[in-house]
Amino acid sequence: MKKIIENIQIAIIVLFSIIGFAQDKSSNTVSLDVFYSKIQNEKQPQIIDARGPEEFALNHINGAVNFNLESKDYAQRIAALDKSKPVFIYSIGAGRSVWLANDLLKKGFKEAYSLQGGIANWIGSGKPFYVNSKSKLTLEEYKKVIADNDAVLVDIGSKYCGACKKVKPILETIRTEHGSNLKIVEIDLEENPQVIADLKSIHVFPTLILYQNGKIVFKKEGLNDLKKDVDLALAQK
């Protein structure tokens, strides 16, 4: 019984922490332009990648170090930072980075900024980044797929993105119903970062783009009404 009570207490603490982070989100989450500009103004910017080590190893912002609230050496990593200088944090979206930025501010850091849209926004806008492998798809190949098919639905995301995983079953339903009338292309950050960077128009994961006859019919940031919008567009062909 004592153990159960302790677990309940921990759960309550975590819940209120998350609520607190959400309430403070607007105070430290900044646009890509602001984030990038502030980094450029620093001689040795303190950049933190708040994703997991596997994600970081595949790609990250140049000069970033990798840790988050769950890291075993979290306290030591924080102690190594300069509280008097700004800290720039990003994750896959803006979840873990917001939590980390808030924690730094509570610990007395002068400035801590979370990047709106996370790594998707940085790479998807064409900003410089490190990558450990060559993209499987080039921009030229991407354009050829668009040109060679009457209708193409492109799903751009990451296997580490929770919302991106929810798109997959919807895509399967769309694929089953429309068959050869619709080409579906799935582009993930882990295997195709360069084509995402070359598009220079991706600001969040997932992003869904429907092309017809080489032209964009719609571009959705998120999966809301995806199937409905695809069905409607193809019905009007």
E-strand ranges in the chain read 29-30, 46-49, 59-61, 65-66, 87-90, 112-115, 129-131, 151-157, 183-188, 207-212, 215-221
CB of 211 closer than 8 Å to CB of 147: no
SS3 state of residue 1 = coil
pLDDT-based confidence at residue 27 (cuts at 50, 70, 90): low
pLDDT-based confidence at residue 16 (cuts at 50, 70, 90): very low
- What is the reported pTM? 0.86
- Considering the four listed CATH numbers 3.40.250.10, 3.30.310.10, 1.10.645.10, 3.40.50.300, the one that applies to the domain covering 2-131 is 3.40.250.10
Catalytic residue among 100, 161, 195, 226: 161
| Catalytic residue check, 195 | no
Catalytic residue among 164, 199, 208, 209: 164
Task: Express as a percent the part of the chain with pLDDT over 90.
Answer: 85
- Considering the four listed CATH numbers 3.40.30.10, 2.40.50.100, 3.60.21.10, 3.40.50.300, the one that applies to the domain covering 139-235 is 3.40.30.10
Task: Name residue 151's beta-bridge partners.
Answer: 212
Q: Could you read off the pLDDT of 90-146 as tens digits, one per residue?
A: 999 878 999 999 999 999 999 999 999 999 999 999 999 999 999 999 999 999 999
Residue 164 tokens read as: 């991106």
When the pLDDT of each residue in the chain is averaged and rounded to a whole number, the result is 90
The average pLDDT across 19-28 equals 48
Q: Tell me what pLDDT residue 1 has.
A: 54
Q: Tell me what pLDDT residue 94 has.
A: 79
Q: Could you read off the pLDDT of 169-192 as tens digits, one per residue?
A: 999 999 999 999 999 999 999 999
Sequence spans of domains, the chain: 2-131, 139-235
CA 177, 169, 194, 217 dihedral sign is positive
Q: Tell me what pLDDT residue 3 has.
A: 46
The average pLDDT across 150-166 equals 96
| Catalytic residue check, 94 | no
